Amino acid sequence: MQQLIKQLRTRFKTPQTKQEVRTSASYWCLFGLFTLLCLTSLWGKLVVILAFLAIAALVNGPVLFVFGLIYTALFSLFPPLAFLFSLILLIRECFFFVRNWRFGIFATYFYVMPFLFTWLLHQSTYPASVTKWSLLLISLGLFYGLSELVYTRSKNSLGLLWSVISLPYDTVLFVIPKRFSTRFSRQKHLSPVRKHFK
């Protein structure tokens, strides 16, 4: 058992050099997932993204639930602290996006290019196999270039893999509260008769 744990630690340790990044399992897993997203059909892409969402929810869900309980308990006792803490978190997130613009470009490419790949494949007048493989080579080349851009800032390929996998979950968390809050605030102002017809 001890030897198995040692092997897993050496396999998934944080790479220190570019050579270690290129030989790590998470680096190649990222390329494999991108290729899988590019080569599957539209429904296959959605299933893979839903699988990413489910994996991230299983890992982050309990932590988010506990943090929500602590947040609620703390701020029910000190309401002004809730506003201050939320403001600090908002400013921190803004700095995160400014500081990690490379990851933003990389993640956008990771999720948008497979859909663009499918669209270009259906719009092409050339034979399907030629179009498919040439588009795959071009998109993998651009993917490699963007991954090198990200690795100039950080050599953590496992962290990059997890960030890319958990991005759909983070996006859902970002979008859901807005929709529920606007829907409920609209219903507050409606009369009881209009609520049933909405």
Q: Which two tokens stand for residue 59?
A: 């890992």
Confirm whether 87 is domain-assigned.
Answer: yes
- Structural domain count of the chain: 1
pLDDT tens-digit readout, 135-189: 888 988 888 888 888 877 777 778 888 888 888 888 887 777 654 545 544 444 4
Sign of CA dihedral 188, 190, 194, 198: negative
pLDDT in tens, 58-70: 888 787 778 778 7
In a domain, 89, yes or no: yes
The 3 state secondary structure assigned to 68-106 is: HHHHHHHHHHCHHHHHHHHHHHHHHHHHHHHHCHHHHHH
Binning pLDDT at 50, 70 and 90, where does residue 12 land? low
- Domain limits for position 108: 24-172
Q: Is residue 49 part of a domain?
A: yes
Phi, psi dihedrals of residue 78, rounded to the nearest 5°: -130, 85
Tell me, yes or no, whether 186 lies in a domain. no
Radius of gyration of the chain (CA): 22
The answer to whether the CB of 64 falls within 8 A of the CB of 58 is: no
- Domain-located, residue 50: yes
Whether the per-residue pLDDT at 55 is higher than 50: the answer is: yes
Q: Is residue 51 part of a domain?
A: yes
Q: Give the pTM.
A: 0.68
Separation of alpha carbons 143 and 147, rounded Å: 6
| DSSP 8-state assignment for residue 24 | S
> Is residue 41 domain-resident?
yes
